[in-house]
Structure 1
Amino acid sequence: MKALGELLRSAHIPLTFPHHSAIVTSLCTHSKECKAGSIFFGFQGQSSDGSRYAEEALQNGAILAIVDEEAPIDDHQSIIRVKNPHKTFALMSAAFHDNPQRELKLIAITGTDGKSSTADILHQLLSFEGMPTGLFSTTSIDDGTGKIPSPYRISTPEADLLYSFLDRCRSNRVEHVIIEATSHALSEEYSRLYGLSFEIGIITTLSGDHIEFHGSKEAYLEAKLSLLDMIRPQGHFISSIENQELKRCLRRSDPSIHIHILGRDHPYMVEEDTLHSVRGTFEGRSFTVNLGLSVLATNALLALLASSVITHKNPVELLPQLANVRPLKGRMQSVPNDKGVHIIIDYAHTIGAYERLFSFIRQIRGESRVITVMGAAGGRDKKKRSVLGSIASKESDILILTEEDPVYEDLRAINAMIEEGIASETCRVLEIDDRNLAIAEAIRLAEEGDIVLLLGKGHEQSIQRTNRSIPWDEEKAVLEVIG
């Protein structure tokens, strides 16, 4: 608990509020969770305006409500208007938890694809070195007490949850913390990571995504590249890409930052790529990583460079550790079976991920048939749906369209948009609404040697349908079919 005045000062808000000596018991973004001593934050969302619940929050005991300066509500002595409530929330959350970030070394990983894989591999590499490390990613969290599956559907949490997590990391004597940083979290609109300074910033890949939120590809890229501005002086930036946008941002970034570009500064080559492993060379030395798909090997090498920075060891010295890295759930995850079928679960849901995955499938499939189960999320970028259909159909013999997370959209309408892009006359297309039944049909149709791709859900533990969330486990769904 903290005095209200202390939290107001942390967010640079003048102490004009009459009760600044009051004790704050919690920070809330949901009015129904407010109690005596709470501060309520009414955020402007894409479909609702949280400021409209300020009165309810105050009635439930909140001592203060903080809203946007343009919020369409009446003024009140217990309401403060600010330019960006999300930034205020971040600063107050840090102060409420006694600024744990000041005693931790933070690593942020962003990119269109590969964030979770890179974060998980780096966490493994540091554990090999005997270094307890915090982790908050789409798939897993570890506050220093051991890695567990993430219970959240959000990759980068709101500030109150993030700082509560960092506080636990500090209490558990963790020194380094890996944070998966989404474009939403980095954006000016959400500013979930506002005020943080990173020892290391990593960008995996960059292509267009979440256009429905950012408004344009340029705005999306700007959000991702803003990570460069959050790296501390003398910190490190690591990436495998070198394009004009990145070069422009590097020119404006702190010149004291150490730049590591995989491929340019650290030559590597993939020599053999199979469904279950990748073999290659890094700075002239051989390596093997037990992850299918060469892009996962790239993620592993990015993690290796970060581990090298943290441990102060030459990356070549750490290279043999890649052979010990375990696959991440839902990322090119192979499910053993007695049918002799290659069943692969993968989280691929972006254009870039589809392009890399199906390019790989084209190289290794031989005479095998490819059966793909896919869908597209509702409420997301509709323009990419036909593109995903086009990419998948060119390398699939059978394409089964099903639910991913339809949310409030009509599933048939989503699948119709995917079908608009189907570019192969030889690809057989089926529509099976229920994902369990779609997976069962894909496996039933598969013969020995065939490849079955189950795309879009990966590690996720639920399917979002209209007004309800259905528990889900892709691997379990497969195992129930194959016995």
Structure 2
Amino acid sequence: MKALGELLRSAHIPVASTQQSFIVTSLCTHSNACKEGSIFFGFRGQNSDGSLYAKEALQNGAILAIIDEEASVEDHQFIIRVKNPHQTFALMNAAFHDNPQAELKLIAVSGTDGKSSTADFLHQLLSFEGIPAGLFSTTSIDDGAGKIPSPYRISTPEADILYAFLDRCRANRMEYVIIEATSHALSEEYSRLYGLTFEIGIITTLSGDHIEFHGSREAYLEAKLSLLGMIRPRGHFITSVENRELERCLTRLDSSIHAHILGLDHPYTIQTCDLHSVRGTFEGRPFTVHLGLEVFATNTLLALLASSVITAKNPVELLPHLSNVRPLKGRMQAVPNDKGVLVFIDYAHTIGAYEHLFAFIKQVRGTSRVITVMGAAGGRDKKKRSVLGGIASKESDILILTEEDPVFEELSAINGMIRNGIASKSCRVLEIDDRKEAIGEAIRLAQAGDIVLLLGKGHEQSIQRRNLTIPWDEEQAVLEVIR
């Protein structure tokens, strides 16, 4: 609990003398979660307006409601209007939890693809070195009590969840905390990371994604690049020559920040790769990673550079650790079976991820047939759907279109857009609405030695169909249909 005056001052809001002694018990974004002593924040989203519930929150016991200055709500003595409620929410949550970020060294991992993998690989490398580090990523969280699958569908949570997590990291004596930073979280609209300063900022690759939210590729890139302004003076920025926006990143950096560029400052090569491992050299020294995609090797090397900064060791000294790095659930995850079929689950859902994946498949497939199960999320960037279909069809003998997260879109419309990009006449295309049935058909059609790719869901634990959240486990679905 905190005094209202203290929280208002933390967000640079003038404090009336009558507000000084009120005690705040919680910070809420849902009116039905408000109780006596709560502060309610009414966020305006793409499909809803939380400010409309401000008076309901007050009736439920909230002592204050904070809403957007342009919200169409009648004024009230206990309603405060601010320019950006998300930023106010972040600042107040920091103060409510006694500023745990001030006692932790934060690392942000961003980019279009490879964020979760790079964050997890860094977490593993630091554990090998005995350095206590927390992790908050799409796939996993670790507040010092042990790594568990993330219970959240969003990669970077709202500030109430994030600061409660940082508070636990502090209590569990973590020294570093690795945070996956999405474009939504970095955007001014959501500002989930507002007010944080990072010791190290990592950007994997930059292309384009979430255009439906940002409005344009340029706005998306600006959100991502805003991370560079959140790195502390004399901090560290890590990226690779594969980052298409490398020059733009470097021009945005404060002159005091140390840049580490994989492939430029630290030369590396990829020599051989197969479905289960990649071998190459780093600064002339050989390395092996037991991961099934070339891009994963790049991600481990980015993590290696970050661990080198943290440990103050030459990265070559840490190179032997790479052979012990383990893959993430849902990231080119092999599913063993008695049928002799090579089944892989992967979260690929962006153009960049498809390009990397299918370039790799072309390189390693040999004479094997490729059967791909894919879809596209409803309400997301529609322009990429045909591109994904085109990329997948070029290297797939059979392409099965199914649900990913259709939400409120008609699945037939989503699949129709994917079909529009399919130019390969040799690729057989099927549509099976139910994802488990689609996986079952892929397994039924597969012969020993064939490659089956299940794309789009990865680690996710649910499928969104309109207002329904359907429990889902891709690996379990495979095991059930392959028996």
Q: TM-score, normalised by structure 1?
A: 0.99
CA contact (8 A) 1:118 1:299 kept: yes
Distance 1:264 1:195 in 2: 32
Quick one: distance in 2 between partners of 1:427 and 1:256?
Answer: 53
Q: How does 1:238-257 map to 2 (within 5 A)?
A: 238-241=238-241, 245-257=245-257
Aligned to 1:154: 154
Q: Does the 8 Å CA contact 2:205/2:242 hold for their aligned counterparts?
A: no
Q: In the TM superposition, what are the counterparts of 1:187-226 in structure 2 within 5 Å?
A: 187-226=187-226
Q: In the alignment, is residue 278 of structure 1 matched against residue 278 of structure 2?
A: yes
Residue matched to 2:466: 466
**Aligned counterpart, 1:137:** 137
- Alignment partners' CA distance in 1, 2:222 and 2:266: 26
Could you tell me which residue of structure 1 aligns to residue 42 of structure 2?
42
Report the equivalent of 1:231.
231
- Answering whether residue 166 of structure 2 is matched by residue 178 of structure 1, we say no
Contact 2:347 2:458 in 1 (8 A): yes
Q: CA deviation at 1:244?
A: 7.4
Question: Shift of residue 273 of structure 1?
Answer: 1.1
Note closer, same or farther for the CA distance 1:331–1:470 as it changes in structure 2 (3 Å cut).
Answer: same
Quote the Cα distance in structure 1 between the aligned partners of 2:159 and 2:412. Answer: 37
* Residues 73 and 241 (structure 1), Cα distance of their counterparts in 2 relative to 1, 3 Å cut: farther
CA contact (8 A) 1:225 1:246 kept: no
Matched, 1:13 2:13: yes
Say whether the 8 Å CA contact 2:375–2:456 is kept in structure 1: yes
| 8 Å contact kept, 1:183–1:223 | yes
Residue-pair matches, total: 483
Aligned partners of 1:228 and 1:250 also within 8 Å: no
**1:339 offset after TM fit, Å?**
1.4
The letter for the 2-side match of 1:430 is L
2-side partners of 1:58 and 1:372: how far apart? 52
- Residue 371 (structure 1) aligns with: 371
* Range 427-436 or range 13-22, more displaced: 13-22
Counterpart-to-counterpart distance in 1, 2:405 and 2:251: 40
Q: Post-superposition shift, 1:247? A: 2.4
- Deviations along 1:92-136, one digit per CA (max 9) or x if unpaired, are 000000000000000000011100000111111111111121000
Cα 1:42–1:393 change in 2 (3 A) is: same
Aligned mates of 2:190, 2:17 — CA distance in 1: 25
Counterparts of 1:350-429 in structure 2, within 5 Å, are: 350-429=350-429
Identity %: 82
Q: Aligned residue for 1:481?
A: 481
Distance 1:97 1:286 in 2: 46
**Is the 8 Å Cα contact of residues 204 and 243 (structure 2) preserved in structure 1?**
no
SS in structure 2 opposite 1:239? strand
CA distance in 2, matches of 1:16, 1:275: 64
Distance 1:243 1:464 in 2: 32
Distance 1:17 1:407, change over 3 A: farther
How big is each residue's C-alpha offset from its partner over 1:21-49, in whole Å with a ceiling of 9 and x where there is no partner? 20000000000000000000000100111
Runs of 4+ with deviation above 6 angstroms = none
8 Å Cα contact 1:205/1:241 also seen in 2: no
Distance in 2 (CA, whole Å) between partners of 1:318 and 1:249 is: 27
Pairing 1:254-333 to 2, within 5 Å after superposition: 254-333=254-333
Render the CA deviation track for 1:157-194: whole Å, top value 9, x for unaligned. 10010000000000000000000000000001000000
Asked if the contact 2:142–2:148 (Cα under 8 Å) also holds between the matched residues in 1, the reply is: yes
Post-superposition CA distance 1:406-430 (Å, at most 9, x none):
0111111111111111111111010
Distance of 2:177 and 2:422 partners within structure 1: 43
Is the 8 Å Cα contact of residues 119 and 178 (structure 2) preserved in structure 1? yes
Q: Note if contact 2:277-2:292 (Cα within 8 Å) is conserved in structure 1.
A: yes
Cα separation, 2, equivalents of 1:23 and 1:250: 46
Q: How does 1:61-100 map to 2 (within 5 A)?
A: 61-100=61-100
Q: Which runs of 5+ in 2 are unaligned?
A: none
Question: 8 Å contact 2:36–2:63 — kept in the other structure?
Answer: yes
Q: CA deviation at 1:346?
A: 0.3
Letter in 2 for 1:463: I
CA deviation map 1:365-410 (0-9, x unaligned): 1111100000000010000001100100111000000000001111
Paired residue for 1:447? 447
Residue 342 of structure 1 pairs with residue 342 of structure 2: yes
Distance 1:79 1:179 in 2: 33
In structure 2, C-alpha distance between the alignment counterparts of 1:236 and 1:258, rounded to whole Å: 5
Task: Give distance in 1, aligned partners of 2:338 and 2:249.
Answer: 51
Deviations 1:71-94 (A, max 9, x none): 000000000000000000000000
Equivalent residue letter for 1:286:
P
Structure 1 contact 278–294 (Cα < 8 Å) conserved: yes
1:398, 1:427 within 8 Å by CA — same for their partners in 2? yes
State the 1:245 CA deviation.
4.3
CA distance in 1: counterparts of 2:194 and 2:343, whole angstroms: 41
Q: Closer, same or farther in 2 for the Cα pair 1:17/1:57, shift >3 Å?
A: farther
Structure 2 match to 1:111: 111
Aligned to 1:430: 430
Q: CA deviation at 1:243?
A: 6.1
In 2, are the aligned partners of 1:116 and 1:138 still within 8 Å (CA)? yes
**2-structure distance, mates of 1:463, 1:245:** 33
Alpha-carbon separation, structure 2, partners of 1:382 and 1:175 = 42
Q: Which runs of 5+ in 1 are unaligned?
A: none
Aligned partners of 1:451, 1:128: CA distance in 2, in Å?
33
SS in 2 for 1:18: helix
The CA deviation at 1:241 is: 3.6
SS at structure 1 position matched to 2:250: helix
User: Matches of 1:280 and 1:186 in 2, distance apart?
Assistant: 34
Q: What SS does the aligned partner of 2:107 have?
A: strand
Residues 347, 242 of structure 1: alpha-carbon distance in 2 compared, 3 angstrom cutoff:
closer
- Residue aligned with 1:58, SS: helix
Counterpart code for 2:325 = V
Give the counterpart letter for 1:383 in structure 2: K
**Superposed CA offset, 1:460-480 (max 9, x none):** 000011101000000000111
Task: Assess if the C-alpha contact under 8 Å between 2:273 and 2:279 holds in 1.
Answer: yes
Counterparts of 1:92 and 1:99, CA distance in 2:
10
| Paired amino acid for 1:255 | S
Q: What amino acid does structure 2 have at the position aligned with 1:76? A: H
| Cα deviation digits, residues 336-363 of structure 1 (max 9, x gap) | 1111111010000000000110011111
Q: How far apart are the structure 1 equivalents of 2:245 and 2:326?
A: 33
Give yes or no for contact 1:204–1:241 (8 Å, CA) kept in 2. Answer: no
Aligned residue for 1:327, secondary structure, equals coil
